[in-house]
Amino acid sequence: MDISESEYLKILKEQIVKVMQQSYPGIPDSISNWKGQNIIDFQSDLRFKQKENISEKWFYIHMKSSNSKLPRIDILNFLSKYVGYKNWEEFKLKTGNDTFEIQPDNSNRVFYLVPLIMLVAVAVFYLIFKSMYTQEYTFCFYDNDTKEPIVNSIIEIGVLSDNESPVNYLCNKDGCFTIKTNKRILKFVVETPCYHPDTIVRTLNKFNRTENVKLKIDDYAIMIQYFSNSNVNDWLKRRENLNDMFSDSAKIFQVLEGTVGMEMYNKWEFINKLTLPANSLRDIEILDTKYGDEKITHLRFIQNGLE
């Protein structure tokens, strides 16, 4: 039985979860549900055991999404080593050998064949019936204020179902995602940097299968990015604005791309970095914000252009 490359990658992800659960028993059973600290723990474990690094962006693109494009072979090799194999080729070889077929005796062929034919017939009728009601729906995300599409940004979708874990998707660069379903009502959570997360509930209409969804901008996150990309002469005013935006106990994390690690700042350390030229942070990109009492209590960001 042949197994496609994408199926091998899916099996590799499942084995990565099992290895991680040996050190982190509480980690979710599916990589698609990993967020924040789970990803940081995996980066740390990978660096400790294999002396290899992956960035958070790479993880979102290749591990959390249903992206059909395989990662580079060198990354597949050290991920295979992480789960106990010499390289990607050995992983595929030994994984493929685990499949087997059962051949009935010729004397009992009819005994096996008739139920099999009936089972196939029932499955075909079921698929035909289901396909009549399964439709493809597309949702595109727009800025609530500017009415412009949100493009070239990480937009994560978590489709919710009763008594099931969320199924996660990543939007394309055009700010849209497509899903096939036979459900009448679709519920999903949308999260993207610089916009407030929202839970969307839609009654699906098979005669109108494309819909635009407006997201409310995170004003504070946008302002912080603006500060990091502009020359503001009145730096005292900027510091006052930042002081008002952050909780005194805020925790601020800088994700270091290409390495396993983060830098943490308190409120005033971050304000100093963003306003004083000698310690400046420039061209930052907000990854995540959390609020309490209308002030930022948690912020994660990356600084673009770092070597």
Q: What pLDDT does 103 receive?
A: 44
**Residue 300: beta bridge partners?**
253, 288
Q: What pLDDT does 211 receive?
A: 92
- CATH class, 134-215 region: mainly beta
User: The tokens of 240 are what?
Assistant: 């006052």
Strand order in the sheet with 176-181: 176-181, 135-143, 210-215
* Alpha-carbon span 258 to 57, nearest angstrom: 10
Q: What pLDDT does 112 receive?
A: 65
The strand ranges marked E within the chain are 135-143, 156-160, 167-170, 176-181, 185-192, 195-203, 210-215, 246-255, 262-265, 284-292, 295-303
User: CB burial class (10 A; 0-12, 13-18, 19+) of residue 113?
Assistant: exposed
Q: What pLDDT does 259 receive?
A: 67
Domain ranges within the chain, ordered by starting residue: 5-96, 134-215, 219-303
pTM over 0.85: no
Using the structure block, give the residue that is written with the tokens 């009492």. Answer: 293
Q: pLDDT by residue for the chain (307 residues), tens digit each? A: 457 888 898 898 999 999 999 988 888 998 888 888 888 889 888 898 899 888 888 888 888 777 667 888 999 998 999 999 999 999 999 887 654 443 444 545 656 677 888 888 778 766 766 566 788 999 999 999 999 999 988 899 999 988 888 899 999 889 999 998 888 899 999 998 889 999 999 999 888 889 999 999 998 888 888 888 776 667 788 889 999 999 999 999 998 876 667 899 999 999 988 887 666 777 888 888 999 999 999 999 888 765 5
* Alpha-carbon span 187 to 84, nearest angstrom: 39
Q: Which of 294, 153, 148 is nearest to 219 (CA)?
A: 294
